[in-house]
């Protein structure tokens, strides 16, 4: 028993801790809920045993420009992986898709230059903004991922958006169960990015 405990201790020491930064807006911050109910906290719960720390850098109302402005401060945490989940407020405000692309490109490049792997969590434009805007907006995420080599989760709210049972009364922000669903969607996309961090030397 003692040898087993010692072996487990050695193995745990050899596994470097990893930090994941979730840079986003109210969908990441957990609007209307406690931070412990937001999807970054759910991922923290799932990965805690692996020595992973998940930081919630979600700020309600943030656009991609806002995320870009506070990125340098957020990167002081020296994350191994950054999940970029921005753009929802750009769409709600009808901001140009070209601006979204420039901001996301700058964010991803800065994260990579800081030594972090990046997972881009895509958003989709509301249909009320028209088909032309929707096509331009939705195409930004795969284009930025292809240009930078970042991993891509096509839509952060896949299976959650527009489902009344998974959203608050405003129809925009996920409820507690909705955040659990989002975490379950993000986790498989995130896990491969953690493997090099935990690889044996």
Q: How far is residue 118's CA from residue 148's CA, in Å, rounded to a whole number?
A: 9
pTM: 0.89
HSE, side-chain direction, 13 A CA sphere, residue 92: 13
Decide if 153 contacts 189 (C-beta within 8 A). Answer: yes
Q: Tell me the average pLDDT across 167-173.
A: 97
Q: What is the pLDDT of residues 37-54, one digit of tens each?
A: 999 999 999 999 999 999
| Three-state SS at 150 | coil
Q: How confident is the model at residue 54, as a pLDDT?
A: 97
Whether pLDDT at 4 is above 60: no
Whether pLDDT at 146 is above 70: yes
Torsion angle of C-alpha atoms 38, 24, 70, 52, degrees rounded to 10: 60
Whether pLDDT at 163 is above 60: yes
163 token code pair = 């489902």
Lowest mean pLDDT among 19-23, 185-189, 192-196: 192-196
What the chain holds in terms of domains, given with CATH numbers, is 21-196 (3.40.50.1110)
Q: Tell me the average pLDDT across 173-197.
A: 94
Q: How confident is the model at residue 197, as a pLDDT?
A: 56
| Three-state SS at 143 | helix
Decide if 118 contacts 71 (C-beta within 8 A). Answer: no
Catalytic residue positions?
Answer: 26, 170, 173
Q: What is the pLDDT of residues 5-18, one digit of tens each?
A: 333 333 343 345 89
- Phi/psi for 20 (5° steps) reads -115, 125
Q: What is the pLDDT of residues 102-124, one digit of tens each?
A: 999 999 999 999 999 999 999 99
Whether pLDDT at 3 is above 50: no
Q: Which residues are within 8 A (CB) of 13 and not within 5 positions of it... i.e. 6 or more apart?
A: none
| Mean pLDDT rounded to a whole number for the chain | 91
User: What are the DSSP calls for 38-82, one per residue?
Assistant: SHHHHHHHHHGGGTEEEEEEE-TT--HHHHHHTHHHHGGG--SEE
Percent of the chain with pLDDT over 70: 89
Q: What is the pLDDT of residues 56-95, one digit of tens each?
A: 999 999 999 999 999 999 999 999 999 999 999 999 999 9
Q: Quote the DSSP letter at residue 153.
A: E
Q: How confident is the model at residue 195, as a pLDDT?
A: 82
Reduced to 3 DSSP states, what percent helix, strand and coil does the chain have, rounded to the nearest 5?
Answer: 55, 15, 30
Neighbours of 195 (CB within 10 A): 10
Q: Quote the DSSP letter at residue 97.
A: H
């Amino acid at each position: 028993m003692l040898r087993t405990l010692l072996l487990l201790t050695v193995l745990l020491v050899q596994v470097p801790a990893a930090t994941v930064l979730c840079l986003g807006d109210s969908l990441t911050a957990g609007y209307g809920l406690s931070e412990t109910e937001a999807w970054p906290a759910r991922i923290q719960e799932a990965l805690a045993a692996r020595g992973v720390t998940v930081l919630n850098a979600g700020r309600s109302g943030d656009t991609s420009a806002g995320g870009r402005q506070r990125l340098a401060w957020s990167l002081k945490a020296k994350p191994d992986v950054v999940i970029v989940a921005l753009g929802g407020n750009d769409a709600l405000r009808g901001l140009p898709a070209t601006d979204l692309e420039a901001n996301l490109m700058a964010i991803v490049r800065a994260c990579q230059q800081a030594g972090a792997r990046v997972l881009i969590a895509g958003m989709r434009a509301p249909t009320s903004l028209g088909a032309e805007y929707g096509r331009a907006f939705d195409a930004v995420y795969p284009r930025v991922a292809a240009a930078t080599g970042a991993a891509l989760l096509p839509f952060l709210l896949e299976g959650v958006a527009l489902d009344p049972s998974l959203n608050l009364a405003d129809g925009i922000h996920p409820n507690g169960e909705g955040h659990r669903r989002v975490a379950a969607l993000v986790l498989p996309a995130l896990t491969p990015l953690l493997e090099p961090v935990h690889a044996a030397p």
